[in-house]
Amino acid sequence: MNKQVATFGGGCFWCIEAIVQRLEGVTEVISGYAGGATTNPNYRAISTGTTGHAEVVQVTFDSDIISYEDLITIFMTSHDPTTPNRQGADRGTQYRSIILYHDTKQKQTVDMVLKSLKSSFPNSIVTEVAPLEAFYSAERYHQNYFNSNSTAGYCRVVIDPKIKKLREKYADKLKKEMMD
């Protein structure tokens, strides 16, 4: 196994978590907070928009099965990277589109993927790209949220359509047990 870690956010971490959990080669997904100044933030603090953190996921994956490039491409096409500080009804800096790279090679890959996707969107990509300085795991009740609460209103209205789009666009990248 060629284990690597990626960190990114695009709105509510429940949505991004549900998407990447379904990808073949992804071994762990942790919802959390990154990109801000406060040490050990919690959900209540980051919800104020004053800590500078974004809701993100930290993804452990086997790059022999799924490449970092594919992971970033799927992430970028699973949310709207052209709206600053907003995804759907979620508004605030904590919902911004952000990719936090772990090393120079990841930064180069991110730059390449963003450049290649530029013409895929009608508006300019506003995804923040920055080095990961610190990642803080979110509270337990935020972890594995969609899989544990798939009948909840938010999950059915917001996340289900994203999962459907993922299945249609990236069926070849999905774990077999996640096809249903």
Provide the domain limits for residue 130: 3-178
Contacts of 154 (CB under 8 A, 6+ apart): 14
pLDDT at 178 over 90: no
In angstroms, the CA 114 to CA 80 distance is: 13
Is there a contact between 30 and 57 (Cβ–Cβ < 8 Å)?
yes
Higher pLDDT, 178 or 140: 140
Indicate if 12 belongs to the active site.
Answer: yes
pLDDT at 180 over 60: no
pLDDT at 136 over 70: yes
Residue 179 banded pLDDT, cuts 50, 70, 90: low
Structure confidence at residue 56 (pLDDT)? 98
Is there a contact between 32 and 175 (Cβ–Cβ < 8 Å)?
no
CATH (domain of 43): 3.30.1060.10
Q: What is the mean pLDDT of residues 27-38?
A: 96
**129 beta partners:** 99
Residue 1 banded pLDDT, cuts 50, 70, 90: confident
70-113: pLDDT as tens digits: 999 999 999 999 999 999 888 999 999 999 999 999 999 999 99
> 12, 29, 71, 155: which one is catalytic?
12
Across all residues in the chain, what is the average pLDDT? Answer: 95
Pairing relationship of beta strands 97-101 and 128-131 according to DSSP bridges: parallel
pLDDT at 7 over 70: yes
What pTM was estimated for this model as a whole? 0.95
Number of independent structural domains in the chain: 1
